[in-house]
Structure 1
C-alpha cells in the first residue's frame, strides 16, 4: 500500500512509534452538531470535511501587553478555503478583527482568547459599530460554512473566550455613555456552527447573530461573574438581528440580562434545552424602537427552558407609538411591524418575578402616554403553554402581566396549561388589558399602576 501524503505517512509511522505522533492528533474532532428535537428549516447546511493536510496553529506574542490579532488574521488567511485553524495557547486581542471573509474553515479553540482591557476607551473608539441600540463589537466572523468549537471536557480556563468585562462595568458607573463592545459577533455568515465553548464576562452582550442564516449554536457555557462585587451591565446571552434559520440549544447561561433576545427581523428561530439563571427572560424585543422602520419577528419556537431568579420568563417587549427617552444612549418608540407565529412551550419557572410578560409600553413609565399613543407594532398568533414552577415574592400573588396598548394591537394570543405557583399559596393572578381573555387559561385582573417595565434590553 502506497502512502500518498505526509500526514498519512506520519499517521502510519505513529502506529509503530507513538512518539512520532503529531500534535494534530490532540485536536478535538469537529462535533456533529444537529438540531434537536426541533429545527428551523435549513439550519443544517452541509459542511464538508476539512483538508487533513492544512492546519494553521495560531502563534502567540511573547511580551506583556501584546496584541495577537495579526497572528490570528494571518492564520485565518492561510487556512481559509478548506483548512483548520487551531487556537491552542493563550491569546490577547488588542485591535479589532474583521473576519467576514471566511469560507469552508474550522476554528478550534482549546486554549483561551481574551481582549485587552487596559484602555476601555480604545475599544469605544475602535470597535465595530452597529446603529441599532448603539452597539459595538470587538470582532466579526462571517462568510460561508464556518465551524467554531472547543472542548468542554478540558479544565476551566480552556476553550474560553473572555471579554474581561469588569473594567467596563466599573467605568460605566461614572460614564453612563461609555460604549462597551459585545464579546462575539457572527455577522454575515451563511451556514455555520458554534459549540463546546466557554464564554466569560462580556463588557456588553455575549453574542449577536446578525445578517446571517443557517446557524446552529450548541453546548455552550456562558457566565458573567464579577470578581469584586461590581454591578454587571447587560450581558445578554444571545441576540438575533436580521437573521433567519437559527437554532440555539443545549446550553447554560448565567447572566444579568436577557438569556436570549430576538431583535428586529429575526425569523425562523428555535431556542431549546437551555438553563438560564439571573436573566431577564427569553425575550422578543425590544422592537418598534425606531420611527419609519419596520420590525418583523416571526416563526419562533422556544422549547424546554429552565429559568431561575430572573425578572421575567416568556417575554414580549414593544415600544410605544411615540418617541420617548429611556436611558442614556437608549430612546425610542414609533416603529412599525409585527410579532407573529410564536410558541413558548415547556417552561420551568424557578423564583422568577413574572412567568409571562407582554408589554407595548417598553421604555416608558408614563402609562397615560402609552394609552394615548398605542404601539404601531402588532402581536398575533402567540401561544404560551405548559409553563410550571414558581414565581418570586416580589409581586405575589401576581405571576405576570399581559398588556396591549389598544384592542386592535394584539390578536390570537393564547395561554394554556399554566401551573405556576406563588410563594403565599394564594391563587396566582395576571394583569390583563386589551387581550382576548377567553383565550387566556389563567385568572386575569385589571392592570396595576405599579407594574412598570424598567429593564434595558
Structure 2
C-alpha cells in the first residue's frame, strides 16, 4: 500500500512530557474574553492548546466540553449557510487542539460533548490517538454562566437540542495523523482530515450516529490549493451513519469544481444501506471540470432494503472502476465506475 500511504514508526524518545488524566477535565460553560485561542480557518476557538515536542497524554479520565449549552443556543443555525459563512460573528468552540506540536500521543482518554469539533490538529507532525472514546449526547443538565460572579449553575433540562458539527478528528496542515482502536459516537464526521493533511493512518475505528469517514472540507477558498494525500484506512465499522466514506469538496451549481480525485481504492467493503436512496448504495460523481482518475472498487458487497440488485452511480469517473455502475441520468450500466453511502 505504499503507493497510497507512507506510515512512519511512532516512537517516543526517553525525554517525554507526560500528562496523566484519571478524573474529569471540564470546559466551563463559557470562556471569558481573552481566555481562548483563535484560528482563522472556519473560526474555531479553544480554551487550551498543546504545542511542543514529545508529549504523551494518557490515563482513564474524561475531557468534558459541556457542549449542551452550545447545542441549545445554536439549534437550527448550524445547519444554515449563515453558519458556514466566514463573515458570521460566531466562533466554533473546540475541545482539544494541537498547534505546532511534534510527536504527540493521546491514549485511553474519553472525550465528551465538545461544543463543535472534538479534536483539531494545526501545523502538527506525527500525532497518535489510540484507544480513545468520543461521544456527544444529550446532557440532562444545562449550565448557566454568571459573568459577574465567575460561577456556573446547573439548571433543569429544557427541550435539549441534538449535537451538531461535532467531528471526531479534524486537521489542517498536518503530516502524520494516526487513529487506532477508537470509538466515535457523535453527530458529524468520525474522521475528517481537512486541507493539506498527509500520511493519514486509521485502523479499527467504530462509528455510530456519524457522517462516516469524510475527506474534507476542501476546495472552499478561492485561489487556495488544498490537498489530502497518502491515506490508509482499514477496519472501519459504521452504524446508523450518513456515509461510510466520502470525499467532501465544496460544490457550486454556477461554477463547477476543479478539485481532482486520483488514486483511490475501495476494497473489501460489505454492509447494508438504510434504503433512503432506494437501490443506490454508492454514488461516485465527479465535477465536469475536475479530473477523477484511478478510482477502483474491489470486493464490494453492499445491499439495500429496497430490494433487487444494488446500484452504484458513476458520473465523470475516468477509466474502469472494476465494478458495474450506472449513470445517474440513465438506466444503462457500464463497467467503468466519490462516496459510499450508508444513508
> Is contact 1:43–1:214 with CA below 8 Å preserved after alignment?
no
Task: After TM superposition, give the deviation of residue 436 of structure 1 in Å.
Answer: 2.8
Equivalent of 1:406, from 284, 288, 301? 288
Determine which structure has the larger helix proportion and give its number: 1
- Aligned residue for 2:8? 42
SS at match of 1:170: helix
Of 140, 155, 165 in structure 1, the residue corresponding to residue 67 of structure 2 is 165
**Aligned pair in 2 of structure 1 residues 278, 246: CA closer, same or farther (>3 Å)?**
same
Unaligned stretches of 5+ in structure 2?
A: 78-82, 141-159, 331-338
C-alpha contact (below 8 Å) 1:405/1:434 kept by paired residues: yes
Task: Specify whether residues 240 and 438 from structure 1 end up closer, same or farther in structure 2 by C-alpha distance, changes over 3 A only.
Answer: same
Does residue 266 of the first structure (1) align with residue 197 of the second (2)? yes
CA offset at residue 437 of structure 1?
A: 5.6
Residues 1:384 and 2:266 aligned together: yes
Q: Which residue of 1 aligns with 2:307?
A: 425
Alpha-carbon offset, residue 129 of structure 1:
1.5
Correspondence for 1:218: 130
| Paired position in structure 2 for 1:318 | 249
8 Å Cα contact 1:375/1:409 also seen in 2: no
Shift of 1:215: 1.6
1:326 corresponds to? none
* Cross-structure match for 2:165: 234
Instruction: Establish whether residue 275 from structure 1 lines up as the match of residue 206 from structure 2.
Output: yes
Gaps of 5+ in 1: 1-37, 49-81, 83-103, 152-158, 320-360
| 1:244 counterpart residue number | 175
Q: Contact between 2:257 and 2:289, CA under 8 Å: does it hold in 1?
A: no
Tell me if structure 2 keeps the 8 A contact 1:200–1:224. Answer: yes
Query: The residue matched to 1:132 in structure 2 has which SS?
Result: coil
The 2-side partners of 1:209 and 1:437 are apart by 35
> What SS class does the counterpart of residue 161 from structure 2 fall into?
coil
Alignment correspondent of 1:332: none
User: How many angstroms apart in 1 are the aligned matches of 2:329 and 2:209?
Assistant: 26
Q: Which moved more, 1:411-420 or 1:256-265?
A: 411-420
Q: What is the deviation of 1:407?
A: 6.2
Aligned to 1:136: 45
Distance 2:55 2:248 in 1: 33
- Select the structure of larger CA radius of gyration: 1
CA distance in 2, matches of 1:242, 1:447: 38
Size of the alignment, in residue pairs?
Answer: 299
Give the distance between the partners of 1:313 and 1:280, measured in 2 at CA.
7
Alignment root-mean-square deviation, CA:
2.2
Look up the match of 1:187.
Answer: 99
DSSP-derived class of the 1:169 partner: helix
TM norm structure 1: 0.62
Q: Closer, same or farther in 2 for the Cα pair 1:115/1:300, shift >3 Å?
A: same
Using the size of structure 2 for normalisation, the TM-score is 0.82
Shift of 1:171: 1.1
Instruction: Check the 8 A contact 1:381/1:411 in 2, yes or no.
Output: yes
Question: 1:264: how far off?
Answer: 0.5
